[in-house]
Amino acid sequence: MTSPPALLELRDVTVRFGGLVALDGVSFDVPQGRVTGVIGPNGAGKTTVFNVICGFVRPDEGRLRWRGEPLTRHRPHDLTRLGIARTLQGLGLFPGLTVVQNVMVGAERHARAGFLSALFALPRSDRDEAALRDRAMRLLTELGVAEVAGRFPGELPYGVQKRVALARALVAEPDLVLLDEPAAGLSAGEIDELAALIRGLRDEVSVVLVEHHMDLVMEVCDDVVVLDFGRLIARGSPDDVRDDPLVVAAYLGDEVDDSAADELTEGGTETHDQPSHGGGVGSEARRA
């Protein structure tokens, strides 16, 4: 059985910031209908991968392909047209718009009338606006936040705002949604809810999850790509990478750095034999 073609391909992507190599020949595929996690310790290059895919950062070397076609010189404002949506760490919700209006703003790809027409419901856009509002409300319902549709983002808990931001990313019915550290700032309970939401997305949309929170990645991802110092050190299923010695070592290094600082301040002498983000020994993960 041949596997379906990748939705997005990164090949030999290198990004330099001055003398610093943020990504060093990184290659991986984002398959259709799956959740692909991009993980790695601090400074590994996760955000740079996200920014390269979004068109915020242009690779110095290497290339991207989207649905088999070269993706060159694309800009963030091209993403919606391509069928790619993203949520950012900063939520980017408009404080002066209600929740449902915020979600509707994400729908440029489908609305025939523009943002202002949709927003102010000019007569010629009545039908579009009604359809768009319906779709926005359906998504808010699916994400469990329909009851706050008429509220303003600033009045809502952070976890609820995150759901609104996700609804806004999904309203244009993208083929791929990029989530940048969606667990940041959420409580343990909210992260569990987020995991269920992301798993539920898989049927409708492919997902790239750039995330620090290892438990979330291990729970929801079908495929995981692990970066360290800008290099791809492992990829495979969560089980494959979890126990990969290189991954364990990368995260253990992170832990040792953090704990060394703690020990200095606390005067402790304990050694740490487990990585902070979960790990063990024995691996099937493929090497870069």
**Using the rule CB under 6 A, is 276 a contact of ligand ATP?**
no
SS3 content of the chain, % helix, strand, coil (to 5): 40, 20, 40
Residue 271 contacts ligand ATP per CB under 6 A: no
Does residue number 214 form part of the binding site for ligand ATP (CB under 6 A)?
no
Asked if residue 14 binds ligand ATP (CB under 6 A), the reply is no
28, two tokens: 């991986």
- Extract the tokens encoding 161: 């705002």
Restricting to residues 21-50, name those near ligand ATP by CB under 6 A: 22, 40, 42-48
Does 236 help bind ligand ATP (rule: CB under 6 A)? no
**Size of the residue set binding ligand ATP (CB under 6 A):** 12
Q: How far is the CB of 181 from ligand ATP (least distance, A)?
A: 8
Based on the shown chain and the rule CB under 6 A, indicate whether residue 109 belongs to the binding site for ligand ATP: no
Amino acid at 60: D
* Rounded to 5°, angle at Cα 48 from 45 and 54: 150
Examine residue 86 and tell whether it contacts ligand ATP (CB under 6 A). Answer: no
Structure tokens that stand for 104 in this block: 């509707």
Q: Which two tokens stand for residue 14?
A: 């290198």
Separation between Cα atoms, residue 53 and residue 151, nearest integer Å: 33
20 near ligand ATP (CB under 6 A): yes
The nearer residue to ligand ATP, 12 or 126, going by C-beta atoms, is 12
CB within 8 Å of 29: residues ≥ 6 apart: 6, 8, 9, 10
Q: Which residues bind ligand ATP (CB under 6 A)?
A: 17, 20, 22, 40, 42-48, 212
